[in-house]
Structure 1
Amino acid sequence: MITNPQTGTNVHEIADGIYRISTPVELPGGQPFSFNQYLLVDDEPLLFHTGPRAMFPLVREAVASVMAVERLRYVGLSHVEADECGSLNEWLAVAPTAVPLCSQIAAMVSINDLADRPPRALADGEQLALGRHTVQWFDTPHVPHGWDCGLLMDSATGTFFCGDLFTQPGHGEQALTEADILGPSEAFRQPMDYFAHAPQTATILTRLAQLKPRTLACMHGSAWRGDGSVLLRHLAEAVSAAR
């Protein structure tokens, strides 16, 4: 469903109760790209990634096509970056009971100061019940880049909110694909490698593979359905080989 004809912002349900909000953009030089947010609708709804601040009206419009924005309870971010939390305070303003959801490191070094409301800081492995869905937080320091990085897994649907992992170029016209995303994402990564390549990168990716996700909710490009464990192991191998 296209929610804004001018920009092409669109909403698609990629798993039970999980909606991908996507806006196509052009990077400098005219390269097509996309910014995705994921809305998990439940008793206590969660929005993972806000998009850049300038994109707030588009994302709000898209969320409103699915549920009342005032119901939002959590605004999640993998790490502090404009496309992750640029409009965090705008969301806190329109959703009176919403709080930021982030890692303990992110809360300590950034969100406690940046956000207009204290965050819910999750420890590594901590679970959060939203209703029918329960999400679990995993610290992923420096994977792919920030010290404060962390990612979420929804046990009810097997959806892994994988942030910048598997970033793909293009407008992400296909909301959910079973085609190869590792090849395009690795080709995109090579020219401006945004991985920190920390000593524990492969170990963290292998740990995430043990979650056996069935859907990967990528922040840029199409979401993916299939054997996420295999794909994450292949990513660990590719990143290790690149060092």
Structure 2
Amino acid sequence: MTTRVDEIAEGIYRISTYVAEVAPPAGFVFNQYLLLADEPLLFHTGHRRLFPAVREAVARLMPVERLRWISFGHVEADECGAMNLWLDAAPRAEVAHGATACDVSLNDLADRPPRLLADGETIDLGGKRVRYIDTPHTPHGWEAGLLMEETTGTLLCGDLFTQVGTVEALTESDIVGPAAAAEDLFRFSSLHPEMAATIRRLAPLAPTTLALMHGPAFAGDCAAALEALADDYDRRTADWREQRALAA
């Protein structure tokens, strides 16, 4: 495993670990994003076994104990497996997530009570500001949600646009085609009628950077990429309905 650190927007750092044995032969990257501010935030904690590498990467940028906020897309090992290790390493840190995640999982799983965020609620980090957005079941997990960092226009978009293979830290190349290929490979999304509409609601936020968990950060036409991803899910949902109708 190799872990690298790259600044993908002002004060936002992509901490990326490539794991060759996941999805061979291409391999897979697991990304965390550190937002440097008066109250720093880490989006995704990584697996427990990645904690030493990710902790060392964070320590290159700031004292680990300064970490104030921890968040992630949904409750899953690669997104929050090391949550309590981070809470132990940073005594002032709090987990922040939506109502479903807190009520169903985090009130019990987190070693300190989480901060419950309403849909659309913001946290002023001091120099940066994040807005929480509920995205239930998109791409999976009924507690799924994203953060929009509003001062840089960076959408921390979790498992959306997942792709396989090693990638550059920041790209303007197509991310929708690789995401469709990964969906064909993994079938990881919870197809449902509201999925495309949920993704389309992100486009008017006008992000300038999309921070992928499994892939590069994207600095091209972000609104168009979100619309194209929604179109792909519309097609997949229609295909599923057709297959169900033929099987009936």
1:115 pairs, out of 110, 118, 124, with 110
Residue 199 of structure 1 deviates from its aligned partner by 1.8
**CA distance in 1 between partners of 2:9 and 2:43 (Å):** 15
Contact 1:45 1:74 in 2 (8 A): yes
Give TM-score, length-normalised by structure 2. Answer: 0.93
Q: Which amino acid aligns with 1:234?
A: A
Deviation of the 1:30 alpha carbon: 3.8
Return the alpha-carbon distance in structure 1 between the equivalents of residues 67 and 51 of structure 2. Answer: 14
In structure 2, distance between residues paired with 1:229 and 1:28: 29
Kept after mapping to 1: 8 A contact 2:23/2:164: no
Whether 1:215 aligns to 2:228 is no
1:3 — aligned with what? none
Deviations 1:109-134, CA, capped at 9 Å, x for gaps: 00000010011111101111001111
The Cα of 1:86 is off from its aligned counterpart by: 0.2
Of the three residues 216, 220, 231, the one matched with 1:226 is: 220
Deviation at 1:28, TM superposition (A): 5.2
Q: Which has the higher helix share?
A: 2
Which letter does structure 1 place at the counterpart of 2:121? E
User: What residue in structure 2 maps to residue 14 of structure 1?
Assistant: 8
Structure 2 gaps of 5+ residues are 238-248
Alignment of 1:72-151 (within 5 A): 72-151=67-146
Assess if the C-alpha contact under 8 Å between 2:102 and 2:116 holds in 1. yes
Q: Which amino acid aligns with 1:207?
A: R
Cα distance in structure 2, aligned partners of 1:28 and 1:192? 9
Identity %: 55
Question: How far is 1:29 from its partner?
Answer: 4.1
- Aligned counterparts of 2:57 and 2:65: Cα–Cα separation in 1: 13
2:32, 2:206 → 1: CA distance? 22
Structure 1: gaps spanning 5 or more residues: 1-6
Deviations 1:49-102 (A, max 9, x none): 011110000000000000000000011111100011000000000100001111
**RMSD between aligned alpha carbons?**
0.9
Q: Is 1:59 matched up with 2:54? A: yes
Instruction: Report SS of the residue matched to 1:210.
Output: helix
SS in structure 1 of the partner of residue 100 of structure 2: helix
User: For residue 191 of structure 2, what is the amino acid of its counterpart?
Assistant: H
Show the counterpart of 1:191: 185
Judge conservation of contact 1:18–1:41 (CA < 8 Å) in 2. Answer: yes
1:161 aligns with 2:156: yes
Q: Aligned partner of 2:204: which letter?
A: Q
SS in 2 for 1:187: helix
Aligned length: 236
Residue type of the alignment partner of 2:200? T
Residue 202 of structure 1: which of 189, 196, 200 is its match? Answer: 196
CA contact (8 A) 1:164 1:219 kept: yes
Deviation at 1:191, TM superposition (A): 2.5
- Greater CA drift, 149-158 or 24-33: 24-33
TM-score (structure 1 length as normaliser): 0.95
Query: What is the match of residue 4 of structure 1?
Result: none
